[in-house]
């Protein structure tokens, strides 16, 4: 679906790849929703299990892990709704699509992580001054080990789907669970230390370490999602791939410049200026833009490309098309 507009000396070409991607992306949507559902189910069971065991043990570190898993559950629900909303095609109100709903979801998930870290630190601080014996260490070790194994498997799955579909919401959810793996391992180590030494301070100390790890992950997620909302350019390897895709047709145009890139959810928005010899026909320019756009979308997934074509300035000394140019 293309729209061509012609003005004297200027040719604009905009192709609706974003619409085509949505129509052809039902498989991506199904995979993203399925991954989000897996995360919701696993976090539901882990949150309940950790909370019950933590209350039985009287362990603030295990209860803090239940709080963390509860935040993971909320994050998974947010990711579920975000991927469905982001998959909706562009409309009259959202001309560039709904991809940034995933970025907003990533920031909300990050704020939940930071909130959970603050709650855990508050609980641990109370525990330092009002020591309570921790019981049923074996049961605590069992639930922490089981939690780490489940979250490792689920986070691996979410990372895989996030990479293949370019979903920031699923990537944020995956980081939630991967952080949970590390913190579960930390609680397991704290339980082991209490068992070996009998020192109860290992429990709140482990909880504080967990909170620091959680908070660090939260700030990283805010930075990553905020970059897309603030229209930070695509990573340099992706821009290099775009330049390579354009320059493979370098013998057919004079030069290109003003390359601009940004990301919205899982979609990339790319625009550039292409300088053509003045004698070029509209059909030839249109065909070249088609080939360049196809090369870019092959190199960078889910790309929405806008090419602005300009006539040359008739300075022909270094022009690649000077031998066949009608100006001379």
Dihedral angle, C-alpha 34, 35, 37, 43, nearest 10 °: 160
Contacts of 272 (CB under 8 A, 6+ apart): 246, 256, 257, 258, 259, 260, 306, 307, 308
Q: What's residue 9's pLDDT?
A: 37
CA distance 44 to 113: 17
- Structure token digits, residue 277: 């010899």
CATH 1.20.1510.10 residue ranges in the chain?
A: 20-229
Smallest Cα–Cα separation from 116: which of 202, 188, 180? 180
Q: pLDDT value at position 2?
A: 41
Q: What averages of pLDDT result for each successive group of 10 residues across the chain (328 residues)?
A: 38 36 48 86 86 77 74 84 81 80 84 79 72 55 79 91 83 80 70 67 73 81 80 89 93 90 85 89 92 92 89 69 57
Residue-level pLDDT at 227: 78
Q: 308: helix, coil or strand? A: strand
Determine contact, residues 325/316, Cβ cutoff 8 Å: yes
User: Can you give the pLDDT at residue 190?
Assistant: 67
Every domain range in the chain assigned CATH 3.30.70.1350: 234-324
Q: What is the pLDDT of residues 107-130, one digit of tens each?
A: 887 887 788 778 778 877 776 666
**What pLDDT does 64 receive?**
72
Decide the pairing of beta strands 303-311 and 267-276. Answer: parallel
Please tell me the predicted confidence (pLDDT) of residue 89. Answer: 77
Q: What does the pLDDT read at residue 138?
A: 62
- CA-CA distance, 121 to 204, in Å (whole number)? 8
Sheet holding 303-311, edge to edge: 2-7, 10-15, 303-311, 267-276, 255-264
Instruction: Quote the pTM value.
Output: 0.61
Q: What's domain 20-229's architecture?
A: Up-down Bundle (1.20)
Q: What is the pLDDT of residue 243?
A: 95
Count Cβ neighbours within 10 Å for each residue of 156-187 and write b for 16 or more, e otherwise: ebbbebbeebbbbbbbbbbbbbbbbbbbbbbb
For domain 234-324, is the CATH number 3.30.70.1350? yes
Q: Which residues of 193-206 are buried (b: 16+ CB within 10 A; e: fewer)?
A: bbeeeeebebbbbb
At residue 47, the pLDDT reads 86
Token pair of 223, please? 């930075």
CA angle 120, 126, 130 (to 5 degrees): 140
């Amino acid at each position: 679906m293309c729209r061509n507009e012609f003005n004297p000396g200027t040719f604009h070409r905009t192709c609706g790849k974003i619409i085509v991607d949505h129509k052809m992306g039902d498989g991506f949507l199904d995979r993203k929703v399925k991954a989000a559902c897996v995360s919701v189910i696993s976090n539901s069971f882990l949150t309940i299990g950790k909370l019950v065991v933590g209350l039985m043990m009287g362990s603030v570190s295990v209860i803090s892990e239940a709080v963390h898993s509860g935040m993971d559950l909320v994050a998974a629900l947010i990711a579920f709704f975000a991927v469905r909303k982001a998959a909706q095609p562009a409309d009259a109100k959202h001309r560039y699509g709904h991809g940034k709903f995933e970025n907003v979801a990533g920031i909300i998930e990050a704020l939940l992580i930071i909130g959970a870290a603050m709650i855990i630190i508050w609980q641990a601080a109370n525990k330092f001054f009002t020591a309570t014996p921790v019981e049923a260490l074996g049961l605590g070790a069992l639930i922490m080990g089981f939690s780490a194994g489940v979250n490792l498997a689920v986070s691996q799955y979410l990372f895989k789907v996030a990479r293949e579909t370019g979903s920031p919401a699923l990537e944020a959810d995956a980081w939630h669970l991967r952080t949970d793996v590390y913190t579960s391992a930390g609680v397991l180590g704290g339980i082991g230390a209490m068992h070996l030494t009998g020192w109860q301070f290992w429990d709140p100390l482990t909880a504080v370490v967990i909170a620091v790890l959680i908070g660090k992950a939260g700030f990283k997620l805010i930075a990553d999602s905020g970059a897309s909302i603030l229209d930070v350019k695509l990573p340099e390897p992706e821009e290099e791939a775009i330049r390579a895709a354009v320059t493979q047709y370098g013998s057919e145009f004079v030069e290109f410049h003003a390359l601009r890139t940004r990301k919205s959810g899982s979609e990339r928005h790319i625009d550039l200026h292409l300088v053509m010899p003045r004698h070029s026909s509209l059909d030839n320019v249109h065909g070249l833009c088609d080939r360049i756009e196809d090369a870019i979308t092959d190199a960078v997934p889910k790309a929405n490309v806008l090419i602005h074509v300009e006539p040359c300035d008739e300075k022909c000394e270094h022009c690649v098309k000077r031998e066949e140019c009608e100006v001379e």
